[in-house]
Amino acid sequence: MLKALAPGFTRAAVEELSRQKGEPEWMLQLRLQAWETYEQTPAPLGRRGDLGTRRTVSNFKFQELTPFTPATQGESLPEAVEQSLQESLVDERSGLIVQLNSTVVHTELHPELVAQGVVLTDLETAVREHPELVQQYFMTKCIPTATSKYTALHAAFWTGGFFLYVPKGIEIEAPILLQVWLDKGHAASFSHTLVIAEEQSSVRLVQEYNSAATHEEVALLSDIVEIFAKREARVEFSNLQDLGRNVWNITDKNALYDKDASVTFVMADLGSHVTLETIGAGIKGNGSAAELVGVFFTDQDQRFSISSLSDHDAVSTNAETLVKGVLTDTSRVEFDGMIRIHPKAQQTASFLSAHGLLLSRTARGEFIPGLEIAANEVSASHGATSGQIDEDQLFYLMVRGISRPEAERIIVQGFFEPVLQRIPLENLRIRLRRSIVRRMSGAYETEADTWVDAQERWEIEGVDEGAIHLDGNLKDEEIQLSEY
C-alpha cells in the first residue's frame, strides 16, 4: 500500500516516491535529473515594475507541503466527486478519468474505442504498459523538463496523471472528461496530461480542476498538459479551473503541431488564490492552425499571471489568441502574450487580442502583447486594453431605471459574450455565465435565463472592448490594432 511522503521536497523523497511506485530505472533517472535541474535553476521573478505575481510564487513555502498524498481506490467515488460528475461540463462522454490528490481513482472508456485501439489510462500505468510512447513524448519536446524551475519540480514529483493515445484515423465524437480533485491541506498534487493524436484523428477533451477542502490549509496543484497533434489531427482541449481559495495553481500547457494539424485551447480560470499559467502553441507543421480562447474573473485578493505564446516555425500557419477577463476588489492580473514568427515561417497569419475590465479602483491589470517577427510575408496583429467600465454606458442604462449594480452586470455580460460565443462547449458557456452572475450579484443562479433577459433589455452587441474606459485621450477613439 502506498504511503504519504513526509513534508518537504528532497532527493530522498524523489527516490522514495519512485520506489513505492515500482518504476523502471529510466523513470527514476528522469526524476533525479529533473530534481538536479530544479535545485540549480533560479525561480522566475518577473520583470521590473510588474504586479509581482511571479515573485509571490517564488516566496511560496513549498517545503511545508506533502509531495505525495495517496487516495484509496475503491468502487465508489467521494460524494463531492460524484456530485461534480452529475453537474459536469459534458452530457455524454466517451471516457472518464478522475484523479483525487495524487492518485487516479477511476477510469472508464467506451468499449468500441478500446476495440479501435484508443488508450485512456493513468500515466503511471502507461509507464509500465506503453514505455516506448512515454519515453518518447513525456517532457521531451513539448514542455521539456528544464523549461522552468517549476516544470523541473513537476517532472521530479509527478503522480497519477492522464495518458490518452488516439490511433490513426480514429474520430472520437463525444468528449472525454478528465477531473482533478484536491481535498487535502498542506498537500501538493502534480497531475500530468499527455495526449498523442495520430494522423487524421480527432478528439475533444474537457478537463476540470476542483477542490473540496472546507479548511484554509494551503495546497498546491502543479499541472502540465502536453498535446501532440500529428498530420491532419484535430484536438479540442477545454479546461475549467475552479479551485478553492486555499489552492495555488502552477500550470503549463503546450501543443506541438504537425502538418495541417489543429489544436484549440479553451481556458476558463475562476478559482485558486494564485495562478501562474503558461499556454503555448508550437506550430511546426506547414498549414497547421492554433486557437486559444481564454476567460477569467478575479475578485477578493486573487492574483493571476498568464502568459501565451504562438510560436510559428512553418509555412502557411494560422493562430488566434483571444483573452478577456474581469477584475474586482483588490485582485491582480498580469497577461503577457507573444506572437513569434521564425525566418522560414512565411505566409503566416497570427492575431492576439487581450482585454481586461476593472470593476473597482483597487483592482489592477496589466495586458502586454508582443511581436517577434523574422519573416517578411506575414500578417500579424495584436491589441490589448485594460480599464474601468465606461461611465457613459452606465449612465445610459441608469437613466432608464436600471440600478448601478445591474447596469454593471449587463455591461460585463456584453463584454464577455463575444468570447463566450467562441467556446464550442455549450455547458461550459452556461457554467461561466452562472459563475459571472453569481460573482456580480452575490447569489447563485440555477438557470442562465438572467443572462438572456439582460440581453433582451439592452442591445449589447456593440459593447465588447468599448465597455472599457481608458485614462487619457483614448476614451472616444476607436481602439486600433497594430499590424506588421
434 within some domain:
no
Over residues 394-418, mean pLDDT: 89
Are residues 278 and 250 in contact, defined by beta-carbon separation less than 8 angstroms?
Answer: no
Please tell me the predicted confidence (pLDDT) of residue 219. 95
Confidence of residue 76 (pLDDT cuts 50, 70, 90): low
Are residues 255 and 267 in contact, defined by beta-carbon separation less than 8 angstroms?
Answer: no
Nearest Cα residue to 432 out of 220, 266, 280: 266
Distance CA 28, CA 127 (A): 11
Residue 322 pLDDT > 90, yes or no? Answer: yes
What range defines the domain where residue 132 resides?
1-49+61-253
Q: Which position has the higher pLDDT, 430 or 340?
A: 340
Please tell me the predicted confidence (pLDDT) of residue 473. 44
Q: Helix 391-398 and helix 404-420: axis angle, to 10°?
A: 120
Task: Return mean pLDDT, the chain.
Answer: 90
**Cβ neighbours of residue 475 under 8 Å, at least 6 residues apart?**
390, 469
260 within some domain:
no
Confidence of residue 91 (pLDDT cuts 50, 70, 90): confident
Please tell me the predicted confidence (pLDDT) of residue 474. 41
273 within some domain:
no
Distance CA 358, CA 326 (A): 6
44 within some domain:
yes
Query: Cell numbers at residue 150, please?
Result: 517549476
Burial of 227 (0-12, 13-18, 19+ CB in 10 A): buried
Query: Cell numbers at residue 435, please?
Result: 459563475
Over residues 261-272, mean pLDDT: 96
Residue 319 pLDDT > 80, yes or no? Answer: yes
pTM for this entry: 0.91
Distance CA 367, CA 261 (A): 29
Please tell me the predicted confidence (pLDDT) of residue 9. 96
Instruction: Give per-residue pLDDT as tens, 40-55.
Output: 999 999 888 889 999 9
Distance CA 429, CA 437 (A): 12
Please tell me the predicted confidence (pLDDT) of residue 477. 38
226 within some domain:
yes
Are residues 393 and 474 in contact, defined by beta-carbon separation less than 8 angstroms?
Answer: no
Distance CA 270, CA 250 (A): 14
Nearest Cα residue to 14 out of 149, 150, 157, 146: 157
For the chain, the domain total comes to 1
Please tell me the predicted confidence (pLDDT) of residue 60. 95
